[in-house]
Amino acid sequence: MKIGFGCDHTAVELKNIIIEHLKGKGHECVDYGTTVPGVSVNYAEYGLKVAEAVKSGEVEKGVLICGTGVGISLAANKVPGIRACVCSEPYTARLTVLHNNANIIAFGARVVGSELAKMIVDSFFEAEFEGGRHAQRLATITGIEEKYSKK
């Protein structure tokens, strides 16, 4: 799978660890930045870069990391069709794909350590959308998105 990565200055080290982990599992990884730790950047810019890459099909899914995972995921979720979910443990990471067909996983470098982050991404990328009753619920969410993107 081709995966896009984005992070802010708090998460460069963790992002690099996760990229190497997923490369070791045979995934192709595209780094949209930032690449300089400790130099303050606007996390929203990197959330947008990855979301646009997922939306365009340049990458299949994305991984976003900031201090908590919240801000960068909020930015990504402004792109229609993006479902970026913040997960701090593997169970939610798995269910967000099974039930919500999430296409971006987000977490916080100040919240989870590297070993837990590896378990989170493994759970996310090993899961597949179940469809069925979840497809109907997802259609409702898409309808809400369409309603407000027309204004």
Please, what is the Cα angle at 71 between 66 and 75, to 5 degrees? 115
Q: How far is CA 136 from CA 133, 147, 150, in A?
A: 5, 17, 21
pLDDT digit string, tens, across residues 34-56? 999 989 999 999 999 999 999 99
Distance CA(110)–CA(65), nearest Å, equals 10
pLDDT digit string, tens, across residues 4-30? 999 999 999 999 999 999 999 999 999
Distance CA(6)–CA(133), nearest Å, equals 32
What pLDDT shows up at residue 140?
96
What pLDDT shows up at residue 151?
60
**Model's pTM, two decimal places?**
0.97
Would you name the residues annotated as active-site residues? 66, 99
Distance CA(90)–CA(105), nearest Å, equals 11
